[in-house]
């Protein structure tokens, strides 16, 4: 199952806690199963039917089934660059 670093948990919580979002808000990661998968990361108020739900330290991440399969052995990290843009990175779980 995908795990999150402390930085990723904090950033996901900060995104989800923006005004107007419910307590279930988080990030949703989707992908199309292709030779070179591309992930789309969007803010989401809730999980979609069939999503795998990751809850870690108050952060919610929702994965569609193809993304859940591809990210099963990964760690999600996140940073904020000097311009305030969030950058996500994946690594293999130790």
Residue extents of the structural domains in the chain: 3-92
Task: Mention every residue, 6+ apart, whose C-beta is less than 8 A from residue 39.
Answer: 29, 30, 31, 67
* Residue 68: per-residue pLDDT: 96
Does residue 59 carry a pLDDT above 80? yes
- Distance set, CA 77 to CA 21, 41, 71, 87, 88 (Å): 23, 13, 13, 8, 6
* Residue 14: per-residue pLDDT: 93
Say if strands 52-56 and 59-63 run parallel, antiparallel, or are unpaired. Answer: antiparallel
* Residue 25: per-residue pLDDT: 97
CATH 2.60.300.12 fits 3-92, yes or no: yes
């Amino acid at each position: 199952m995908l795990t999150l670093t402390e930085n990723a948990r904090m950033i996901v919580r900060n995104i989800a806690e923006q005004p107007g979002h419910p307590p279930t808000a988080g990030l949703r990661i989707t992908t199309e199963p292709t030779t070179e998968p591309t992930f789309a990361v969007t803010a989401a108020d809730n999980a979609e039917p069939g999503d795998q739900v990751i809850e870690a330290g108050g952060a919610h991440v929702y994965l569609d089934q193809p993304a859940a399969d591809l990210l099963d052995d990964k760690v999600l990290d996140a940073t904020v660059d000097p311009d305030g843009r969030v950058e996500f990175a994946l690594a293999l779980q130790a």
